[in-house]
Structure 1
Amino acid sequence: MKREPAVKKVLYWCDQCNVPLIGRTCACGARVREIPLLQPHDVRPALTADMALIRRLLTEQFGDVPLPRVVLLNKTGGVDRADLVIVHGDRLGWLTFDPITRKFSLDIAPEALPHILPHVTRGIVDLEAEPAVNAHKGRIGGKQFPLAAPVPDGTVIISYKNRFGTGIVRDGQIRVKELVPVEPRTRPDPDWDTVIEKNRYHLKNLERNAVRTIKKHMNDRPCVNVSFSGGKDSTAVFHLARKAGVEKAFFIDTGLELPETVEFAASQGVEIIKKGGDFFQAVEKAGPPGKDHRWCCKLLKLQPLKIYLAGLGPCVTIQGNRWYESRNRADLDETSQNPANPLQLNISPIRNWRALEVFLYLWWREAPMNPLYEMGLERVGCYLCPAVLESEYEGLREMHPELTDRWDEFLIRWAEKNGLPDAYHRWGLWRWRALPPKMREVCRDRGIAVNDDFTLREAPVRKAEKVATMKSTGISDPAPPAETESVPDGIRKDFPILGDIVYLDNAATTFSPEPVVEALVEFEHRYRANVGRGVHRLTRIATQRYWHAHEKVARFIGGEAGVTVFTKNATDAINMVAQGLSWKPGDRVATTILEHHSNLLPWRALAKQGVAVDVVGIDADYALDLAALEETLAGGGVRLVAVTHASNVLGVTTPVKEIAALCRDHGALLLVDGAQSLPHMPVNVADLGCDILCFAGHKMFGPTGTGVLWMRDLLIEPPMLGGGMVASVTAEGYVPAEGYQRYEAGTPNVGGGIGLGVAVDYLSAIGMEKIHRHEERLTARLIEGLSGIDGVTVYAGRKPGARIGVVSFTIDGVHPQEAAQMLDEDADILVRSGHHCCQPLMEHLNLPDGTVRASMAAFTTEQEIDLLIAAVDEIGRGR
């Protein structure tokens, strides 16, 4: 059975001093009384904005009613904000916010009448003047009567035969609550300094116990720090920790913090940790976070914390969590192991404090406080957090419209895209994935349909609008909002799929940026047609753009003088060469141990034609053994050298220029597999000196099903015959077309080819040299970080100038597949594991299970590399 925490369910009050107390005694020595609190039993002071709001509502309803300087708010359950307002130790009423009308109301309690009645100048209904009441026989408390004259809806004070009470007016009817005799009452009006003085003894005890807790555990790990959020609780803990001798504190800037919070954190001298992922990119994919689906915490807080702790090592972290904040924290122990970060032992020294104790302590110690509290926020954190009340968000719209406008725009667009009713945005229903009972009741009362799983049902009107828009425009979703931050150079906004994942499997396939996707959609929606076989307008457009894509790709590799053929992928291109060259028995093909199966198996298959394959090895630094290659060539008979430009396992590059020189000396053709080099570094075929270059489009931001075969001349016979590859056909034979067309028989992947042209435009706009330098820095960072982890073996070349952003590694005692699965499930990091289609290389390296491989792209960030290092370190520690 789950034990109930020792929460304080009552508030003590000294009537003589007219002050709230956090203990059973007052400094004046007078007897105190208990005030029962409502769940969750948390009580806090009404601050500047709260006081102004309550005073305004009182004035609007009842005239110039004075408000004492000490007012408390007891949070209660409700649709949105619902506070029991306490003055003079009595209930003043309930302060609530209606998310539908977007208005606050103050429902006066009968206990308030002795304090406010002498000052009331309006809002009183005299029931003795109401005919319906006079005609009623018997008790009128709890009854409802029609009013003879119009009275505004809301709470009113009722007068009837020298008795007073409160009532609710709605639609010309008044519901009467209990009527009682009222004796006006006046009490002292102390300020908060007096409250602090009367509670000084209790505050000292709270401080002493909290400091004792910190000192008790601060040496449980090698280092100790404070988790500082900028809120009142972490501020109190920060000052308590300082008293215990702890100086180090950190603040995670999620990128969604209010500027006042960031400035306050900086003013306290805490270490500020940079934000984790990009929320506005992730939300385009994942949708709004909810109270029951807070995916954002992992992205924005847990991931940067994991990186921070990886550099710090095991530590004790003092935090400001309290029992009264949420059900999840209602049984929080003094110490707890952070389940998301095993390096961290959390200490909660104020877990039994209410908000009242926190504020009194900070005021007592004259500690600086985040100004947002006085401005009307109860909860300080991410401004669009689903846990924020709609009442607070309404205030933020006035404080920071530049922030809320962007979020509102997204919510409206998301609702329209998914056919959701306006209430999704207007009432704040986005804050739940599955609506809780109170919000389902609100929806039911107002005719908003809810599905069986308690999600909002798609609105029929919105659905029809959505379909009509899609049909008229050919575009399913509106464009994402403009991004202000560049990582690197502003390109991440073009890859919405990244969102809430860290993608490090680019050696297998990259993602396509929005311009490439748009080009594919445009082809399908605007001019889908075959190429080179017609004269109508669509085929002319398709033919011109498809031909132009070949030109773009040729220019990208400096291959304008050769022949650029579009293929399905690099494998297809290599097989075309293997099948298109005229082989004879005794011919030899030289290749390397570094090769992908695609650049090995097509040559092995030539054995039935009497062609032999020689495999050249590598040295201790994984570099190609040039001397062995030269020796192989010197042996004679080598018709073709087929070599990878960059290893898809080790990331090492091969010295293609030197290999080309050797091939020329010995009369051999040189085929280069550029599948891994093209996306990561500048490649110019004239500079390389190769005869043939093969590469894949899907590894360089292009569509899947695209690849390239470049030849300096028409070196091979077309391996496939048919329509589109001929200039003319007679009964006796055919004349092949000139240029690339002779190698592209049949209907090609027209849209894919055009998309590939856009992809090389995209890469060119960034700059391949810039991409290479960017990945070179990240690769060095990754190799250094992984190499420093005990039990991790890194397989990568030592020369920064002779490698790309591909790094393989193993973790002692952890199978590569298991490691990759853990990285995905625990850290949202996507890597590849296994043999990577390079089993001969794995056998050479004595790695029967393969490796874990992380491969980068232009959109990879330092933060993602650091997160991978931290996650691998965590796996290594737990092995």
Structure 2
Amino acid sequence: MNVTHEPPVKKILYWCDRCNVPLIGRTCACGAEGREIELLQPYDVRPALAADMALIIRLVRERFGNVPVPAVLLLNKTGGVDRADLVLAHGHRFGWLSFDPVARKFVFDLAPEALPFILRHVTSGIIDLETGIEPGQGQGRMGGKKFRLTTPHPDGTAIVKLKNRFGTGTVRDGQVRVRELATVEPRTGKNPDWAQVVQQNRYHLKNLERSAVRMIKQHIHDRPVCNVSFSGGKDSTAVLTLARKAGVTAAFFLDTGIEFPETVAFVRSQGVPVIEKAGDFFSAVEKAGPPGKDNRWCCKLLKLRPLQIHLAEVGPCVTVQGNRWYESWNRAALEETSQNPANPLQLNISPIRNWRALEVFLYLWWQKAEINPLYEKGVERIGCWVCPSMLESEYEVLRAMHPAYAERWDAFLTAYAKKKGLPEAFHRWGLWRWKALPPKMRELCRDRGIPVREDYTLQAEPPDEHEETVEIAGERTLEPDMAAGTDGGYDVEAIRRDFPILGDLIYLDNAATSFSPEPVIAAMVEFEHRYRANVGRGIHRLTGIASQRYWHAHEKVADFIGGKDGVVVFTRNTTESVNMVAQGLPWKAGDRVITTILEHHSNLLPWRRLARQGVTTEIVGIGPDYQPDLAALERAVTENTRLVALTQASNVLGVVTPIREIAKICHDHGALLLVDGAQAVPHMPVNTEDLGCDFYCFSGHKMSGPTGTGVLWMKEACIEPAMLGGGMIETVTADGYTLSPGYQQYEAGTPNIAGGIGLGAAVSYLQAIGMERIHRYEAGLTDRLIAALSKNNRIHVYAPPDPARRIGVVSFTVDGFHPHEVALQLDEAADIMVRSGHHCCQPLVESLGLPEGTVRASLAYYNTRQEIDLLVATLDEITR
């Protein structure tokens, strides 16, 4: 049988009636013993600060006139649909403060215990049960009964009287429900301020401090480094103060990118280093949807990832944190020390875990410590301004304090709800804060007629038949104005906004397939929705638009690779392009093909198959720098060599081969040159004329274009078409045919029109950024990755030593781990996607003595330094 033990929280508050102050211990500095006050779950009590006081005073006086409110009010958090606080004054219940997320207003419900302190000052809000209710109702016991009023009275709390007895009641819809009536004896009390409260609790505060500092000192040497995790909130401020007294000087703050600016400014004022954000919340939320209290994906992206990077630099450490039992039931069983399950490097200690918010504030006031100004402005939970754990009442504060922030989040929630068919309450009432609604919110929905599914999620509304459901944007490209970028004018965050898929994962498998930006997808959708028609086979309007856009895509590609004087043919991929050359050249027995050990299977197997026709294939090796052995290649090229075929950049080693030098060798011996540019085109400027090649092949899906698209560029249209049929002929007679000129003769049948147009959009997108810019930016990432990996003696990197001769494809192995195991752990531990295995280059990896292959991280222009750092940090953790 499982026995659940309730945490040792303090359920009692003490109050000195002599000094009229709350106590955090049993006795007051005046010598009096405190009176016990039972608190409500979760038993956390805190001072009412400036915004709280102003709100309570306003609500009370709007109802009852110029009623005095003491300077010391306490708020005992209780359960509710949103904010719900029991207000304590003079050591008694004063009332309940709550926020209605539907009506979007605060409500104060007066407690009967408040009447002795305010009744003599009340000038309004009193209902006389002798004259204010309909005749015949006031017979017998009045408490608990409901009576119809004779005169209008605003809904909400009221004071009721019957002769010399008083009580409170609730007015609704012209009726008043009366609580118990009793004789009220007027009372007065001292009106101390919080400075006096601190003074009367100094002895207890000293004991709290002494115990917390002792705990920190006890564990300060459990790991080589000790630091403080600082959030900018009251709890971490108290912990920072205590840790500094214990001799801890190091601290850090994780900037999620969606922090209140007041918090960031406060953190900097405390001299705490700021760790910059490692993820883009607004890119991630487009894909993942809004986070919830029960679906906190954002914490992993915005906090755990940068923490992992930071800890990889710091090493094993003891981290002092401000977690308290009273914050949530998940923390109610928090031990003195706890191993961070997400980061084995970190041992957390919680020296104030048994403090209530009252103790925290009193301690900070006693120490005259600076406190985050957001508390006085009405924000109780200091954190991200879109955090689902924030209350809707606090979100109203955000609307007034930072309207631009609120407008941005409101716009997203409204669009998301519309897209998912969710009711307006999803946004208006703050129901987005849960993936599965808790009981109180389900009850609210039931009472208001909002349907909820059996799994407690909101039920979608039927779509409006008259509403436009699909909005198609015209083709666009990213404007190359990135002067605000932090990497020499390269604004990677502006680029990443066009890739919603990047939101909550780290994608380092770009050598296999890259992601497409929104303009590419929009161009394809526009074709399907606006002018879908076949190309070159009609004269109507739609086919004219489609033909022009498809032809223009060929022109864009030709310009992109400096190949306007040649022929650009659209294919399915690099593999098909290479095979078209292998099948289309007029081979004869004795011809030879020279290639290298670096090649992808797609640039090897088509030549091997030519052995059936008497064509031999010779493979040239590589040197220690992974470059092809040019001397061996030159020896291999003879008068019988028909073709040399090699990659411009290896998809395993990232080495960039000397194409121009090889082109000269080929042409000196009368051989043709085919270049596999699949890994080069996405990462560097390419000019086929400068390269001196005869054929250039690449894939669209590796350069942010659609899958199923590729290019074969030919200096001259010198191969036989692989397929015959419609669309590639000018005329057909009973006994012959005439081929169309240009690319059309190689694209028989209906092509991938949408894909071709999308490929053209991808080219425009890359050109708008600038391939030189992309190359420089990726080179910096690659240098960073190789340098960091090389520091780990259990990781072996296979990359060319010359930074000028490589692209962002980095292969490595990890001692004691199969490459597949490393890739799986990276995915599961940190959402990092890499490739593992032979990478379709089995002869190469086996020649390197790596029969199981390698782990490969391949970069793109939308990757970031933080992603590189997280990869390295995770690998360090795996190897550790």
TM range (shorter): over 0.9
RMSD of equivalent CA atoms: 1.7
Divergent runs of 4+, >3 A? 130-137, 473-476, 482-487
- Deviation track 1:44-84 (CA, whole Å, cap 9, x = no partner) reads 00000100000001100100011111110000000000000
Query: What is the identity, as a one-letter code, of the residue corresponding to 2:515?
Result: F
Q: Does 1:526 align with 2:525?
A: no
The answer to whether the 8 A contact 1:528-1:538 is kept is: yes
Residue by residue, what CA displacement relative to the aligned partner does 1:531-577 show, whole Å, maximum 9, x if unpaired? 11111111111111111111111111111111111111000000000
- Contact 1:487–1:861 at 8 Å: present in 2 too? no
Quote the Cα distance in structure 2 between the aligned partners of 1:514 and 1:135. Answer: 69
Rounded Cα–Cα distance in structure 2 between residues aligned with 1:488 and 1:30: 64
Partner Cα distance (1:257, 1:130) in 2: 52
Q: Which residue of 2 aligns with 1:449?
A: 451
Counterpart CA distance in 2 for 1:707 and 1:250 is 48
User: 2:217 matched to which residue of 1?
Assistant: 215
CA contact (8 A) 1:226 1:250 kept: yes
Partner Cα separation in structure 1 for residue 542 and residue 196 of structure 2: 84
Map of 1:584 onto structure 2: 588
TM-score (norm 1): 0.97
Contact kept, 8 Å, 1:725 with 1:737, in 2: the verdict is: yes
Q: State the distance in 2 between where 1:588 and 1:282 align.
A: 52
User: What's 2:601 paired with?
Assistant: 597
The match for 1:676 among 655, 665, 679 is 679
Kept in 2, the 8 Å contact 1:164–1:179? The answer is yes
In structure 2, the partner of 1:299 is: 301
On the 8 A contact 1:145/1:174 being kept in 2, the answer is: yes
Q: Does 1:692 align with 2:691?
A: no
Please tell me whether the aligned partners of residues 64 and 121 of structure 1 are also in contact (alpha carbons under 8 angstroms): yes
Shift of 1:834: 1.1
State the 1:875 CA deviation.
Answer: 1.2
Offset at 1:131?
Answer: 5.5
Aligned to 1:571: 575
Name the amino acid aligned to 2:270. Q
- 1:3, distance to aligned residue in structure 2 (A): 3.1
The farther-off stretch of 405-414 and 670-679 is: 405-414
| Cα offsets for 1:66-124 (capped at 9, x unmatched) | 11111100000000000000000000010000000011111111111111111111111
1:200 aligns with 2:202: yes
**Structure 2 CA distance, aligned partners of 1:170 and 1:654?**
82
**Matched residues, number:** 870
- Residue type of the alignment partner of 1:387: S
Q: Does 1:629 align with 2:628?
A: no
Q: Name 1:791's counterpart in structure 2.
A: 794
CA distance in 1, matches of 2:544, 2:189: 90
Work out the CA distance in 2 between the residues paired with 1:130 and 1:47: 37
Q: Structure 1 counterpart of 2:413, which letter?
A: L
Q: In the alignment, which residue of structure 1 is the partner of 2:464?
A: 464
**How far, CA to CA, are the matches of 1:170 and 1:133 in structure 2?**
19
> What is the DSSP-based 3-state SS (H/G/I as helix, E as strand, rest coil) of the residue aligned with 2:435?
coil
Residue 807 (structure 1) aligned to one of 805, 810, 814: 810
The alpha carbon displacement at 1:2 in A equals: 3.9
Task: Tell me whether 1:437 sits opposite 2:435 in the alignment.
Answer: no
In structure 1, how many angstroms separate the alpha carbons of the residues matched to 2:270 and 2:491?
29
Corresponding residue of 1:180:
182
Does residue 615 of the first structure (1) align with residue 619 of the second (2)?
Answer: yes
Q: Which amino acid aligns with 1:565?
A: V
Contact (CA 8 Å) 1:487, 1:859: kept in 2 or not? no
| One-letter amino acid of the counterpart of residue 574, structure 1 | V
CA distance in 2, matches of 1:108, 1:176: 12
Q: Distance in 2 between matches of 1:68 and 1:744?
A: 85
> 1:91 maps to what in 2?
93
CA contact (8 A) 1:495 1:511 kept: yes
Q: Is the counterpart of residue 725 in structure 1 residue 724 in structure 2?
A: no
CA distance in 2, matches of 1:860, 1:768: 15
Q: What letter matches 2:302 in structure 1?
A: L
Identify the residue that residue 27 of structure 1 maps to in structure 2: 29
Q: Assess if the C-alpha contact under 8 Å between 1:133 and 1:145 holds in 2.
A: no
- Report the residue type matching 1:435 in the other structure: L
Q: Secondary structure at the match of 1:686?
A: helix
Q: CA deviation at 1:31?
A: 2.3
8 Å contact from structure 1 (residues 100, 426) kept in 2: yes
Distance in 1, Cα, partners of 2:857 & 2:507: 9
Partner of 2:33: helix, strand, or coil?
Answer: coil
Amino acid at match of 2:22: P
Post-superposition offset of 1:474: 5.4
Residues of 1 paired with 2:631 and 2:314: CA distance?
Answer: 46
- What displacement does 1:475 show? 7.2
- The match for 1:79 is 81
Q: Does structure 2 retain, via aligned residues, the 8 Å contact 1:128–1:134?
A: no
1:360 maps to what in 2?
362
How far apart in 2 are the matches of 1:489 and 1:347?
36
**Which residue is equivalent to 2:338?**
336
- 2:129·2:138 contact (CA, 8 Å) conserved in 1? no
Q: 1:388 to 1:479 in 2, by over 3 A?
A: farther
Letter in 1 for 2:680: S
User: How much has 1:633 moved relative to structure 2?
Assistant: 1.1
Q: Secondary structure at the match of 1:95?
A: strand
Which residue of structure 2 lines up, in the alignment, with residue 491 of structure 1?
495
Partner Cα distance (1:98, 1:136) in 2: 32
SS at match of 2:62: helix
Q: CA offsets, 1:839-871, max 9 Å, x none?
A: 101111121211111111111111111111111
Query: Mean alpha-carbon deviation: is it higher for 839-848 or for 355-364?
Result: 839-848
Alpha-carbon distance between aligned partners in 1 of 2:786 and 2:292, rounded to the nearest angstrom: 38
Q: Report the CA distance shift for 1:305/1:3 in structure 2 as closer, same or farther (over 3 A).
A: same
- Establish whether residue 542 from structure 1 lines up as the match of residue 542 from structure 2: no
Other-structure match for 1:715: 718
CA–CA separation in structure 2 for the residues paired with 1:255 and 1:23: 40
Amino acid at match of 2:225: C
2:283 equivalent to 1:281? yes
CA contact (8 A) 2:645 2:673 kept: yes
Among candidates 393, 397, 400, match of residue 399 of structure 2: 397
Letter in 2 for 1:508: A
Distance 2:812 2:588 in 1: 42
Q: TM-score, normalised by structure 2?
A: 0.97
1:792-848, Cα deviation, whole Å (9 max, x unpaired): 111111110100011011111122112111111211111111111011011111212
Q: 1:113 aligns with which of 112, 115, 120?
A: 115
**Counterpart residue number, 1:666:** 669
SS at match of 2:525: helix
Aligned to 2:152: 150
Offset at residue 333 of structure 1 (A): 0.6
Deviations 1:147-177 (A, max 9, x none): 1222111111111121111001111111110
Post-superposition offset of 1:137: 3.2
Q: How does 1:298-337 map to 2 (within 5 A)?
A: 298-337=300-339
How far apart, CA to CA, are the structure 2 residues paired with 1:347 and 1:374? 28
2:537 aligned partner, one-letter code: R
For structure 2, the 5+ residue unaligned runs are: none
| 1:845 aligned to which of 835, 848, 872 | 848
Which deviations, in whole Å up to 9, do the C-alpha atoms of 1:241-263 show, x marking residues without a partner? 00000011101111111111000
In the alignment, structure 1 segments of 5+ residues that lack a partner are none
Instruction: Indicate the residue corresponding to 1:68 in structure 2.
Output: 70
Once the 2 structures are TM-superposed, how far is the Cα of residue 6 of structure 1 from its aligned partner?
1.2
In the TM superposition, residue 487 of structure 1 has moved relative to its aligned partner by: 4.0
CA distance in 2, matches of 1:174, 1:107: 13
What is the Cα deviation at residue 499 of structure 1?
1.1
In the alignment, the residues of structure 1 paired with residue 137 and residue 635 of structure 2 have an alpha-carbon distance, to the nearest angstrom, of: 118
Deviation at residue 874 of structure 1 after TM alignment: 1.1
Q: Contact 2:473/2:522 (CA < 8 Å) preserved in 1?
A: no
CA separation of 1:676/1:19 partners in 2, compared to 1, >3 Å: closer, same or farther? same
Letter in 1 for 2:874: A
- The answer for the alignment partner of 1:833 in structure 2 is 836
2:346 is matched by which residue type in structure 1? Answer: Q
Query: Contact between 2:477 and 2:764, CA under 8 Å: does it hold in 1?
Result: no
- SS of the residue corresponding to residue 729 of structure 1 reads strand
Distance 2:872 2:135 in 1: 77
Mark the CA change 1:243 to 1:474 in structure 2 (over 3 Å): closer, same or farther.
closer
